[in-house]
């Protein structure tokens, strides 16, 4: 039975990638907890706290396929947490004297949180890989269409020309920044959790800190200054970062959906028979990938709020906020993976209609170039006067149903300063792209340096 569509065999592929969904499945989660228990036994054996033979036996037994999940599930319903049952199962499988050396000095949250960190480490790897691929695909589009004019739109109205390459660069630039954030966050987030009952590791006496270091070394994790049982800034940071990534993906998706409108029709998602179709309208090509990105982003942003509120944890062990993280953080990772996959599909396969872009630039009969002409008149008339002249000419063009170019040619005040050839030059969208090409080159160069 599936309640969340991301967990559904039918709908799941729309919401998350198979690898990310598998990473947060029960088998993967419990295997990582077993990995932590095995690593703890090895670490304590190296420090002489448990026999090496016992650590070896625990490591051999610590495989998910050896467990009886039904027995664990039954115990979880009673105890409200999985580790006691997991340790009992691991002891049963290990057998003999070695079983009594399992879980020495640890508490449930140590195992669950450290396993979560291992999940996040792999999840970060997946996210990073797809971010790089998406950024590179958008950078390639930016370079290809560096100087291709398209209507720039502000408040959903034609503003001034930009280039489609510039638009792609705007989509790509935040992704490079998110990669930097991801690498920075990894140093803070990917740390071991080992504190025992209340964070002091009292059962290990003076060896507690050494065991924490040895456990971290076994797992390839960092060591925090102290256990973070109730200091949840790292998990909240991970969620917030995924929220930022989804925010940038949502901006990209929204733009694509708007560009796909029948009245605009400048860019389209990749198409195959049946994709984006309707059950009743045979002609439809809906922006399905963009829609799922936007939906996923909304849900991730909602879950970021859950993670932030979960930072308020009482005393040395939380009564509820910690448990709420398990509802929120896996969804953040899974939905982000799905949004990235949809984003890659769009960026790598989008159809771009440059002829439609050119035609749409002409929809306003030249009014989109009003600022350009005003800028051309400014040296002779001053900015305010030039702006007033173009405002008056634009109103006249609209009122008379004429092109701005025709009105300007008939305007005596304009003709004092600009000839017909100069007006034509100023009315060319390709000549009024400003520093768009420079900005594109910067973004493309930055993404080219990504590792």
Report the catalytic residues. 278, 317
> CA 417, CA 415: separation in Å to the nearest integer?
5
Listed as own residue / partner, the contacts of 281-285 with beta carbons closer than 8 Å and 24 or more positions apart are: 285/260
CB 335 within 8 A of CB 12: no
Q: Helices marked H in 190-287 — which ranges?
A: 208-219, 233-259
Q: How far is CA 439 from the centre of its chain?
A: 23
Longest dimension (CA), the chain: 103
Show the tokens assigned to 77. Answer: 């319903």
The closest alpha carbon to 215, from 57, 87, 67, 104, belongs to 104
Show the tokens assigned to 126. Answer: 């997946």
> CA 31, CA 37: separation in Å to the nearest integer?
10
206: which residues sit within 8 A by CB, 6+ positions away? none
Q: Helices marked H in 260-309 — which ranges?
A: 288-309
Give 367: exposed, middle or buried? Use CB within 10 Å, 0-12, 13-18, 19+.
middle
Show the tokens assigned to 423. Answer: 């007006």
Q: Which helix (H) or strand (E) covers residue 230, if one does?
A: none
User: Which one-letter DSSP state was computed for residue 228?
Assistant: -
Could you give the angle at the alpha carbon of 156 between the alpha carbons of 152 and 157, nearest 5°? 65
Could you give the angle at the alpha carbon of 297 between the alpha carbons of 295 and 301, nearest 5°? 120
> CA 449, CA 386: separation in Å to the nearest integer?
44
Give 407: exposed, middle or buried? Use CB within 10 Å, 0-12, 13-18, 19+.
buried
């Amino acid at each position: 039975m599936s309640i969340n569509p991301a967990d559904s065999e039918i709908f799941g592929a729309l919401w998350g990638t198979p690898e990310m969904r598998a990473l947060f499945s029960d088998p993967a989660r419990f295997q990582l907890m077993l990995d932590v228990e095995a690593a703890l036994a090895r670490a304590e054996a190296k420090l002489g706290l448990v026999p090496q033979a016992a650590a070896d036996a625990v490591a051999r037994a610590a495989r998910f396929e050896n467990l009886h999940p039904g027995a664990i599930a039954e115990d979880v319903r009673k105890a409200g947490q999985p580790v006691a049952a997991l340790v009992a199962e691991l002891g049963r499988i290990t057998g003999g004297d070695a079983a009594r050396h399992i879980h020495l000095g640890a508490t449930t949250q140590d195992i669950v949180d450290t396993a979560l960190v291992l999940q996040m480490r792999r999840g970060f790897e997946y996210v990073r890989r797809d971010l790089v691929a998406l950024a590179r695909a958008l950078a390639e589009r930016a370079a290809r269409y560096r100087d291709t004019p398209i209507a720039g739109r502000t408040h959903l109205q034609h503003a001034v020309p930009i280039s489609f390459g510039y638009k792609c660069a705007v989509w790509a630039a935040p992704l490079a920044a998110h990669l930097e954030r991801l690498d920075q966050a990894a140093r803070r987030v990917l740390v071991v959790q080992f504190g025992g009952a209340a964070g002091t590791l009292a059962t290990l006496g003076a060896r507690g800190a050494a065991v924490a270091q040895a456990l971290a070394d076994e797992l390839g994790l960092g060591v925090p200054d102290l256990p973070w049982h109730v200091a949840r800034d790292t998990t909240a940071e991970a969620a917030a970062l995924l929220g930022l990534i989804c925010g940038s993906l949502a901006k990209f998706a929204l733009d694509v959906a708007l560009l796909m409108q029948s009245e605009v029709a400048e860019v389209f998602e990749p198409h195959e028979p049946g994709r984006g179709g309707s059950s009743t309208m045979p002609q439809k090509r809906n922006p399905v990938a963009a829609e799922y990105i936007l939906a996923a982003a909304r849900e991730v942003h909602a879950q970021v709020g859950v993670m932030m509120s979960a930072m308020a944890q009482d005393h040395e062990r939380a009564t509820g906020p910690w448990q709420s993280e398990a509802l929120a953080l896996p969804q953040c990772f899974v939905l982000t993976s799905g949004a990235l996959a949809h984003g890659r599909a769009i960026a790598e396969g989008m159809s771009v209609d440059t002829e439609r872009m050119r035609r749409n630039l002409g929809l306003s009969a030249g009014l989109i170039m009003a600022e350009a002409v005003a800028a051309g008149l400014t040296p002779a008339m001053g900015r305010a006067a030039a702006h007033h002249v173009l405002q008056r000419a634009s109103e006249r063009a609209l009122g008379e149903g004429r092109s701005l170019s025709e009105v300007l040619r008939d305007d005596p005040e304009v003709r004092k300063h600009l000839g017909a050839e100069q007006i034509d030059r100023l009315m060319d969208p390709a000549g009024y792209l400003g520093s768009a090409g420079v900005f594109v080159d910067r973004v493309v160069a930055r993404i080219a340096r990504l590792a």
